[in-house]
Structure 1
Amino acid sequence: MVREAGVGRLVDEEAAEGTVVVNNEFFSLFPAAPPQLLYRFIEQTLQPGPAVSLKCIAAGTPTPHITWALDGFPLPHSHRLVKGQYVSAEGDVISHVNISSVHVADGGAYTCTAANSAGEASHVARLNVYGPPQVRPMGQQTAVAGRTFIIACPASGHPIHSITWIKDGSPLPRNYRQRVLANGTLVVQEVTRGADDGRYSCTASSRSGRSDTQSLQLRVLVPPSLAPLTFPKGTRAGMQIRATCLVQEGDQPVRYAWTKDARPLDARLGVRTSQLDAFTSILVIERAAAEHSGNYTCTASNAAAASATTARLTVNVPPTWVVEPSSTSVALGGSLALHCLARGFPDPVVTWRRQAASGEFVGVVEGTGSGESSIVQWKNGTLWIGRSARGHEGRYLCEAGNGVPPGLSKLIDITVNEPPWFRATEQRQEVRVGGTATLTCHAHGDAPLTLTWSKDAVSLSPLPRYQVAQHEEQDQGGTISKLVVTDAHLEDSGTFSCTASNTHGVRTSQLHLLVQDVPGPPSGIEVVEMGPQHLVLTWTSPEDSNAPITAYIITLEPQSPSAGAGAAREERVGGHERRLVLKDLTPATRYNLRVAAENRVGRGRSSSPVLGSTEEQPPSAPPRDVRVMAVSSSALRVSWEPPPHNSTHGTCLVTTWDISWPAHTPITLWFFGLSTPKAQDQLHHQLLLSP
Structure 2
Amino acid sequence: MIIQLLTFLVLISASNCQKSPKAQLSFLLKPKIGGKTTVACMVDDGEPPFEFNWFKDNRGITNNDGFRINKLPDSSILTIEQMSSSHNGKYTCNVKNMYGSDTPAIEIAVEGPPSWKFKQQDVKSKPNENVILKCSATGHPKPKIIWKKFENLKWVTLDDDKLIGKISDDEIRVSNLHKKHEGKFGCEVSNGFGPNLWNEFNIDIIVFPAKFKEKKTYVSTKRDTSLELECSAEGDKPLTIKWSKDSVLLNKSGYQRYTITDSPTTDGLKSVLTVRSADLVDDGSYLCVAENEFGKDERNIRVTIIEAPPAPQNVMIRQTWSRSASLNWAAPSSNVSPVLGYIVRYWKIIGLGANERLREINVSSPMNSVLINSLEPGCLYEAEIIAINEVGAGQPSRTIKFETGEEEPTGAPIDLQAIARGPTTIRVSWKPPTRDKWNGKILGYYVGFRRTGDFKTPNSYKTVDAASHNNTYEYLLTSLVKGTAYSITAKAYNSAGSGPEYQEIIAETLLGNVPPAPRFKVLSAASDSLNLRYNVVPDSTPVQLLQLHFKEVGEFDWKEFALTYEGKDTNEYTLSSLNPSTVYKLYLTASNEHGVSDPSQIITAKTARSLNDLSSISGPFDSTSLLGPGSSSFGDMVYFPAITISIASIIIVIVIAFVFVKKARLDASTKSNFEFCQASQTGILAHNRATGTTFGTVQRFIDHDKTMSLVATGPCDDGLNTLPTPYSKIPIGTEKRNSTLADTRHFYDYPQ
Structure 1 length-normalised TM: 0.37
Pick 1 or 2: higher relative contact order, CA cutoff 8 A, min separation 6. Answer: 2
Structure 2 length-normalised TM: 0.34
